[in-house]
Amino acid sequence: MGEVTEPALADVPVTAVLQALADPTRLRMVRTIADGGERLCGMLEEQLPKATRSHHLKVLREAGVTHTRVVGTGRYVSLRREELDRHFPGLLPAVLTAAEPAAAEKRAAV
């Protein structure tokens, strides 16, 4: 299994981060991680097929949004919050805050 490669945020354009966060599924994943810290990859968006979940996590990792830690056969994902805040000040809080009303509206419609 080994280590998972992650880009240096200095090499990641802000457009790549925004594109990764623009997908509703990935945004939900990021919100879940932001609310509870590190999570086991398989516990995020459990209703998705494993390959789809892996794809979304790869997009987030390659955009520099998440960090993946490998422990045996498990992979734990966390936000690279401090690095994101340093390279893109205010971006993550703005995106997460902007997503809150949309999530609340969606819940109210159900």
- Count of structural domains within the chain: 1
Q: What is the pLDDT of residue 41?
A: 92
Scan for tokens 């997009």, then name that residue. Answer: 59
Q: What is the pLDDT of residues 56-72, one digit of tens each?
A: 999 999 999 999 999 99
**pLDDT value, residue 4:** 81
Q: What's the predicted TM-score (pTM) here?
A: 0.85
Q: 19: domain range?
A: 13-101
> Could you tell me the CATH number of the domain that includes residue 89?
1.10.10.10
> In which residue ranges of the chain is pLDDT below 70?
1-2, 99-110
Q: Where are the beta strands (DSSP E) in 4-106?
A: 39-40, 66-71, 74-79
Q: What is the pLDDT of residue 106?
A: 56
Beta carbons of 75 and 40 less than 8 angstroms apart: yes
Q: Is residue 6 part of a domain?
A: no
- Asked whether residue 32 is assigned to any structural domain, the reply reads yes
Residues 6+ apart with CB under 8 A from 99: 27, 31
